[in-house]
Amino acid sequence: MEQFLDGPALSPPNGVNSDFAKPEHGNVLCVGVFNVGIILVVSVVLIRLYTRIFLIKRFRVEDFFMIAALAIYVSFIYVGWTKFQCPGGFVHLWNIRVRELPRIFKGVNLGSILYCIVMLLLKISIFIDWIHIFVPPQIVRGGFYYACVGNMVMNILFYVACLFVEIFACTPRDKIWNIFQRGTCVNIYLINIASSVFNFVLDVAMLGMPQYKIWKLQLSKKRKVAISLLFAIGALGCICGGLRIVYSIPYMKSPDKSYYLTAFGLLATGEMTIGFLVLCIPSMPKLIKEMPRQDIVRKFLGRIGLSSLDRTPR
């Protein structure tokens, strides 16, 4: 048994020897994505909080959801960091010992749960924020308001269902990460593909919602383009979601699971990071206008069409 546990989790291809000491990895890319993600997220959250507390002086419920999402996002980064320290990112399964699998798969399951919670909190926060921006109290609630509420409900149901699957995928639960545990599991790979497709559809619908509203505003074309670009950052999230679908097929078919799991982790990091940007970036013009040399800043914002964005109803 000890010899088996110290052996490779997957037989290496012909002509390839297992390397447990210094396997080939992609840690540079992984660490870079994590560092850029955490720096961007903390920066934009601090900018939004400063703007909300000291400039607008209005702290709403979506900001509480954002803070909770940030705390769990940091936890996700920590879990991912520990995985990429040992055994590493993009490490083939034949370079991992059998005894290391339970720890790795337990971390993957925890990371998936944290991802679902972060995305759930972010989507709720974003839709509530959009309602405050585009449907202020003095305006009659119309299609955009009900689209936000409907999409928020759909996302809540979707991520709660994903959480349920991640937590109760196997009976008993520890079979999720313990390959020696007897029990039964749902086909998590097919569920991952279905959830990736459904998540992509929701993200595309979400991307188009503010664009539709922006182009109906009574503003000049230049200002519409500028404001539209602020909200178009969500297109990067759709790209990450599309890549998740692309990687889902080889992940399901290949026995080399550890290699493709790294790609999922990085794409999940990208999706969450972009979610924070979508929520926080619209707060930046207000902060920029309050910086020193306001005359220069105002002139610049006016040229790019953002001079009145901070007066959008909140």
238-294: pLDDT as tens digits: 999 999 888 888 888 888 888 888 898 999 999 999 999 999 988 877 666 666 555
Q: According to CATH, what is the number of the domain 25-283?
A: 1.20.1070
3-state secondary structure 48-92: HHHHHHHHHCCCCHHHHHHHHHHHHHHHHHHHHHHHHHCCCCCCC
177-211: pLDDT as tens digits: 998 889 999 888 888 888 889 999 999 999 989 88
Beta bridge partners, 171, equal 184
Neighbours of 145 (CB within 10 A): 15
292/300 Cα distance (integer angstroms): 13
| Lowest model confidence (mean pLDDT) among 144-158, 159-173, 177-191, 214-228 | 214-228
Task: Give the percent of the chain with pLDDT over 70.
Answer: 90
Please give the model's pTM, rounded to 2 decimal places: 0.88
